[in-house]
Structure 1
Amino acid sequence: MKALLWFVLVCSLLFNATTSLLWSGTTQMALSVVSGLIFLGSAFTLWLLREKDPQSS
């Protein structure tokens, strides 16, 4: 599960970076927002799934 989330995170970041090169205007903005939301969702899910170290408390 974590490997898939890391893959989605990296792919959405790369896709977001290339949207400005491939599209312009409203299309670029819409795709950038969608890929940004996917990035944030996968980052948040990875943060929730992190291993919590009981020694650090």
Structure 2
Amino acid sequence: MKPVLWLLLFVSTVAAVYVSTFAHYTGTMRVLAGVGTGVVFVGSALGLWLTSGKK
């Protein structure tokens, strides 16, 4: 499960950079793309935090 969460974290980071710099989205599409990548990023980070072993 952790490798999938790490992959989602990486992909959402790359997608956020792409949306903010290279994509020619404007208005609502840019906001939706940003929110979508943000939700995936926060969700995967939260999943990694919850699955981390307490020592």
- Deviation per CA, 1:4-28, whole angstroms, max 9, x where unpaired? 1000001001101111221222111
Aligned sequence identity (%): 36
SS at match of 2:19: helix
Q: Which amino acid is 1:52 matched to?
A: K
Instruction: Provide the rounded CA distance (Å) in 2 between the counterparts of 1:24 and 1:6.
Output: 29
* In 2: Cα distance, 1:39 partner to 1:13 partner: 7
Corresponding position: 1:10 with 2:10: yes
CA shift, 1:2, in A, is 0.2
Q: What is the count of residue pairs matched by the alignment? A: 53
Divergent runs of 4+, >4 A: none
TM-score of the superposition, structure 1-length normalised?
0.85
Q: Structure 1: any 5+ residue segments left out of the alignment?
A: none
Aligned to 2:27: 25
- Ranked by relative contact order (alpha carbons within 8 Å, sequence separation 6 or more), the top structure is 2
Give the residue type in structure 1 aligned to 2:12. S
Structure 2: gaps of 5 or more residues: none
